[in-house]
Amino acid sequence: MIRLYDGKGGVVQWDSVKNSASGYVPNRYGTGTYRVNDDCTLDVEFQPSPTTKIVERAVIVDEGRELRSITVDPPTLWVTSVQQRI
């Protein structure tokens, strides 16, 4: 996964997924929005396809070099991530 935060509340992502529901989907592109809160948490709404919306909660750590997130909606999707600035 490659995810880019634009510093203005927009996010784009490229990934490849493989699961039992959709099979293998290479080079999937999606867009979304994010909001950084005063306590260094983030609210992210992301749309990897026209029919799918994902809501994540995240926290900024390591002086802004790392982001740790968990998917909270849809409730059947259990994904966590550690994203590092490169």
User: What does each C-alpha distance from 81 to 44, 53, 70 come to in angstroms?
Assistant: 13, 17, 7
State pLDDT tens for residues 27-83.
889 999 999 999 999 999 999 888 889 999 999 999 999 999 999 999 988 889 999
Predicted pLDDT of residue 72? 96
Look up the pTM and report it.
0.84
Predicted pLDDT of residue 47? 93
Domain count, the chain: 1
Predicted pLDDT of residue 25? 78
| Dist. CA 83–CA 86, nearest whole Å | 9
26 cis-preceded (ω within 30 degrees of 0): no
Locate 49 and state its tokens: 């396809």
- Segments forming the whole domain that contains residue 76: 2-84
